[in-house]
Chains A and B, each alone.
Chain A
């Protein structure tokens, strides 16, 4: 699977497709679902699986196709790009946080009482965040690979973020 090359994408220009992908859980979830062994390209099937409207399912499929993340393969779709790296080297940090805030909040509202969630507040130096942040990424990759190996068909979402609570905003870096 090739990664999509992104060079300083312009996410500030209205409702671009990439903005929808970055800030709307539905597009990401449909992208993920397209990898499932039981994937059915019918928008009605997708809508039922994700508990969304058929219109949202159609919108997501068409948008992902325009972004070349999926492409038509006979009567179905196949995933062309497995993931898109959207980090500070691709877009302005502030806008990246803005997009993340939307997805993070949308996912939080999906939490039910019996789900797993947690919060940790600890002491350390901020370098700890980079060190352990990469371990979390590696864990997600492990989780993803095991999910594929086991033939899992549920779409699972997780959100993680780290922030330093002490110091002024200037000391913590630009907001």
Chain B
């Protein structure tokens, strides 16, 4: 079976929901040509725009991701014993920007106050995990 381009799939979804391109761009505040180009395979959308488009069509990717992550990272209250457990509990409960902000603050404070240079692995992971701020 031939794999359809994403734009084509979205166009089919639009039709199935009896929504017009004009309705969608009005809600999202986009120029009309932006959606049209994407649906016809002549242009791409940024990640955040694609997520917003899907949300408008009833597919909440962020919610699905959070639900999946929650299953793997939920800490049972009874198993919290150490400071590290508390930190993990707090971090998992925050929205992405808040979590990144706290991690960035930890890293900055550590850089200023620690007698040791942060291991490069730690710096790399923190840099990757805080790439939105």
Contacts and interface: CB of A to CB of B under 8 A. Distances in A.
Interface of A: 14-15, 19-20, 23-26, 53, 55-56, 58-59, 62-63, 65-66, 68, 98, 101-102, 105-106, 108-109
Contacts of B84: none
Nearest to B47: A55
Contacts of B101: 23, 101-102, 105-106
Contacts of B96: 15
Interface stretch (B1-9, B11-19, B71-79, B102-110): B102-110
Interface in B17-63: 28-30, 46-49, 62-63
Sorted nearest first, the 6 A-B pairs with minimum C-beta distance are A109-B108, A66-B29, A102-B101, A105-B105, A105-B101, A109-B104
B48 to A, nearest CB: 5
Given A15-B62, A56-B132, A108-B108, A20 B97 contact: yes
Contacts of A24: 97, 132-133
Contacts of B131: 53, 56
A72 B1 CA distance: 42
Given A24-B132, A26-B133, A105-B105, A59 B97 contact: no
Majority SS of interface residues in chain B? helix
Interface string B112-133: 0000000000000000000111
Nearest to B55: A14
B126 to A, nearest CB: 11
Nearest to A113: B112
Contact of A105 (B28, B62, B102): B102
A96 to B, nearest CB: 14
A102 B98 contact: yes
B132 A102 contact: no
Given A53-B131, A106-B104, A62 B48 contact: yes
A68 B47 CA distance: 20
Given A25-B133, A55-B46, A62-B49, 18 more contacts: A14-B62, A14-B95, A15-B95, A20-B97, A23-B101, A24-B133, A26-B133, A53-B131, A55-B47, A58-B46, A98-B98, A101-B101, A102-B101, A106-B101, A106-B133, A109-B105, A109-B107, A109-B108
